[in-house]
Amino acid sequence: MENTKKIICSGCGAEYDATLPKCPYCDIINYSGAEAEYLNKLDDVREDMEELAYVPQESVKAELKKQGRLVRKIIIIIIIILIALFGLYYFRYHFNWSQVSEKEQFLWQSENFPKFDALYEAGEYQQLANILQEELQGKYSIWSYEHRDFAFVYDNISDAKEAKRRIDSGEDTSVDMYTTLLYNQMDLLVQWGREEELDEEERSIIEPLMEEVVEDFHTRWQMSDEDYQELIEIAEENYHVFPYNEAKKYVKKWLKKNK
């Protein structure tokens, strides 16, 4: 599988393909990617101009006039793009794009991060996960919180266990519930393989819970190695996030064979 360079978004902290002109999650501009896209458009214009040399003699004047108007429009568009890129660059480095100032963010972190740590130390992992999920919708950033990744992994495990309970008890055996189970299991398996996400202490807490997830995953779905590898590759192509629609697609095929 071809390796592509990844970068970390300065806005939301997500990892994505360095060739993209902007972050696919929060739309923060990626200047190197935007510049490459702009240069590709210039190459297209140059190729269009080179093709003019092969226009038959009798239609040269008419075609040149037509192409001249097109080129003028393209130049105007390019100028607008350059101005927009310059403006984005200027504001990115001279203004704070956050909803709050750095001082407000610092004061909020100073007040709340110790509370988050207290929940972690007390073993209140689900409560910590719930609070962090709520804060994702707020105006303050939690991306620098030490146990953020741990809390999200723990939350995924809780969602997977709840989906398993509902299915096994017969409370809810819908396609959506099976999809929720597979989606969380696959997401956990993908993230579990990325050791940098959790430190040694966090992994020691999560590992016994992951054993339950892995056991149910293999027992329930009984995927072939080819099918499993295909799903892993889909997640890797999607910036290490397993897409919900892919989980639903697999579940529908699985249910047809097993129901």
pLDDT per residue as tens digits for the range 136-155: 889 999 999 999 999 999 99
Question: What CA–CA distances, in Å, run from 59 to 27, 51, 219?
Answer: 45, 13, 71
Provide the residue type at 41 as one letter.
Answer: K
Which residue in 200, 217, 241 sits closest to 157, CA to CA? 217
pLDDT at residue 191 in the model: 79
> What whole-number distance in Å separates Cα of residue 126 and Cα of residue 130?
6
Check: CB of residue 167 under 8 Å from CB of residue 176.
no
Q: Tell me the range of 26-40, 110-124, 133-147 where mean pLDDT is highest.
A: 110-124
> What whole-number distance in Å separates Cα of residue 114 and Cα of residue 36?
43
> What whole-number distance in Å separates Cα of residue 86 and Cα of residue 115?
41
Q: What is the pTM of this model?
A: 0.60
Per-residue pLDDT at 61 exceeds 70: no
Check: CB of residue 215 under 8 Å from CB of residue 164.
no
43 vs 71, more confident: 71
Which residue in 101, 99, 114, 104 sits closest to 145, CA to CA? 114
Confidence tier at 12 by pLDDT (50, 70, 90):
confident
pLDDT at residue 96 in the model: 44
Per-residue pLDDT at 95 exceeds 50: no
How much is the average pLDDT of 112-130? 97
Bridge-partner residues for 22, per DSSP?
29
> What whole-number distance in Å separates Cα of residue 259 and Cα of residue 72?
63
